[in-house]
Structure 1
Amino acid sequence: MRSLRFDILLLLPLAIFALAFLALPIVHLAFAATSGERGFGAFLAIVLEPRYRESLVATLLLALVTTAATLIVATIAAQTLANRRFAGRGLFLSMMTFPLAFPGVVVGFLIILFGGRLGLVGSVSRALTGSNLVFAYSIVGLFLGYLYFSVPRVLLTILAAAEKLDPALVEAARSLGAGPVAIQRDVVLPALFPAMYAGGALCFATAMGAFGTAFTLATRVDVVPMLIYTEFTLATNAAMAAALSIMLGLFTWAALAVARTRALRDATSF
């Protein structure tokens, strides 16, 4: 009985947090989404109306491409840094994770300094070709911004797993005649898959809901976070903004659930 009361006491803060900051806001959001003139039709409008559908598709594709690129960069960097010690390694790793200190607006500003109308790339292209190359305000600029703040988060996750990988497994595979590709496919990557699933899911969720960077850069592309903002503030359409928020949350939740399931399966089978 005493153990049961102790368990309840431990779970009470989590229960209060889940009720106050998760369950009640989501229920209120659902009521808000169906309280407009369209009712439940607000959710159908996301699929049927081109503006909402194209925004959702663009956001999904951008998040998927960002996640794939981030996993490639972070996995290569993590394996490079995991078992190598060299002068300046700590400083290099600190620089790789430095973007974690920047909010999304600052990241967007850095992309503008790089590929904006008065940015570095534009100045160089204007000097060489006479034309100003600007990409900061397009989906390319938004992709680079997302990649910039996603790589450090995923890198730290995969690096922790790569440092725990037993080098004897790699040596055993090499002694049995396995080449570099086979070692990566059969030994290294399976050991890193749980961390890659976790990091990829966090990257996808962040890219789906990032607002600060999108607010700074998304002048030529309409992603869902910006669409929610404009629907709520400019169009004063709270019901549509709530429906878009729920749809965005469902996609993100599904990605996290799949990643968690795959990570647990691979962790137990390796």
Structure 2
Amino acid sequence: MHDLTFPLRTRIALIAPALAVFVAFWLLPLVALLQASAAPDGHASAFAAYGAVLTNQRYLHSLVSTIVLSLAVTVATLALSTVTGLFLARHSFPAKRLMVALLTFPLAFPGVVVGFMVIMLAGRQGLIGAISARLTGDKWVFAYSVGGLFVGYLYFSIPRVIVTVMAAATKLDASLEEAARSLGASPWRVFADVVLPALRPALIAAGAICFATAMGAFGTAFTLATDLEVLPMTIYTEFTLNANLATAASLSLILGFVTWAVLALARSMTGAAVAATA
């Protein structure tokens, strides 16, 4: 056995670049946000801005709407991606590579592009509106509502979860499923009692990342200019239009705390599997 213990100077040299990135891109901005969230007059309590945020109906509505939307996107994404990922992992067909490429292609699109695609699909001049106008006489337009935002978030969330499910499905022990079938279990029972528990760590990890991504997504909401107030748009409005830096910083920290709490909960539920799967 070789001794892999490095001298102290070598260890410091190895960890220094990562530590510098951590300080520059996480610790210092976090400290700046904490300072900005303090009362601007310097005399009131440092938590005054947080109290104002948590007692303001508009900010509370924005926070709750963002959490509910993110949860809905997460649940829908997990349901669709689990079925699709399992199918792609367990079946081979001529166009499989092409299908996987098409399903994961949205990973290359930024949120602004996704927003424009939703407008082209369900906007005033969109495809759905044109078809519905011919079939029913009414033009269905929902790109600029919570429905459009939901579709946009779903669009860029599904590829991430599909890739995770496919990777986890290839590691499942097929003998357990065969044993369940030999004991008379129906396909649904095999899925619910064998496959789903085996995929649980991967699904929890992917769901947590999906939730965190939806919570902080800005480009799609900004492009759709939706009337629905989600927290990233509220932060942007407070910072740019109202010049309310303390409130914007407080809202940013609250958003970050909620996201961190969900990720920490997912890690506590699955242990190291979250890091490995994500």
1:257 aligned partner: 264
1:211 is matched with which residue: 206, 218, 221? 218
2:181 aligned partner: 174
1:190 is aligned to 2:197: yes
Label 1:182 to 1:230 Cα distance change in 2 as closer, same or farther (>3 A).
same
Deviation at 1:226, TM superposition (A): 0.5
For the 8 Å contact 2:115–2:220, the answer to whether it is kept is yes
2:38 aligned partner: 34
1:42-65: CA deviation from partner (whole Å, max 9, x where unpaired): 112222111101000100000000
Deviation at 1:3, TM superposition (A): 4.1
Q: How does 1:98-247 map to 2 (within 5 A)?
A: 98-247=105-254
In the aligned structure 1, how far is the partner of 2:61 from the partner of 2:185?
A: 46
Give unpaired runs (5+ residues) of structure 1.
Answer: none
Deviation at 1:260, TM superposition (A): 1.2
Q: Return the letter of the residue paired with 1:251.
A: V
SS of residue in 1 equivalent to 2:121: helix
For the 8 Å contact 1:42–1:239, the answer to whether it is kept is yes
Q: Return the letter of the residue paired with 1:170.
A: E
In the aligned structure 2, how far is the partner of 1:2 from the partner of 1:107?
A: 47
In the aligned structure 1, how far is the partner of 2:167 from the partner of 2:203?
A: 11
SS of residue in 2 equivalent to 1:42: helix
1:94 is matched with which residue: 78, 83, 101? 101
1:23 is matched with which residue: 27, 34, 39? 27
1:77-118: CA deviation from partner (whole Å, max 9, x where unpaired): 111111111111000000000111111011011111111011
Equivalent residue pairs, number: 267
For the 8 Å contact 2:77–2:158, the answer to whether it is kept is yes
Label 1:208 to 1:35 Cα distance change in 2 as closer, same or farther (>3 A).
same
Deviation at 1:261, TM superposition (A): 1.4
For the 8 Å contact 2:62–2:231, the answer to whether it is kept is yes
1:12 is aligned to 2:46: no
Q: Return the letter of the residue paired with 1:108.
A: G
Deviation at 1:215, TM superposition (A): 0.2
Give unpaired runs (5+ residues) of structure 2.
Answer: none
In the aligned structure 1, how far is the partner of 2:273 from the partner of 2:236?
A: 39
Label 1:154 to 1:5 Cα distance change in 2 as closer, same or farther (>3 A).
same
For the 8 Å contact 2:39–2:49, the answer to whether it is kept is no
Q: Percent identity?
A: 54
In the aligned structure 1, how far is the partner of 2:234 from the partner of 2:125?
A: 27
In the aligned structure 2, how far is the partner of 1:43 from the partner of 1:85?
A: 54
SS of residue in 1 equivalent to 2:170: helix
For the 8 Å contact 1:142–1:218, the answer to whether it is kept is no
For the 8 Å contact 1:138–1:219, the answer to whether it is kept is yes
SS of residue in 2 equivalent to 1:178: coil
1:80 is aligned to 2:84: no
Label 1:232 to 1:179 Cα distance change in 2 as closer, same or farther (>3 A).
same
TM-score (norm 1): 0.94
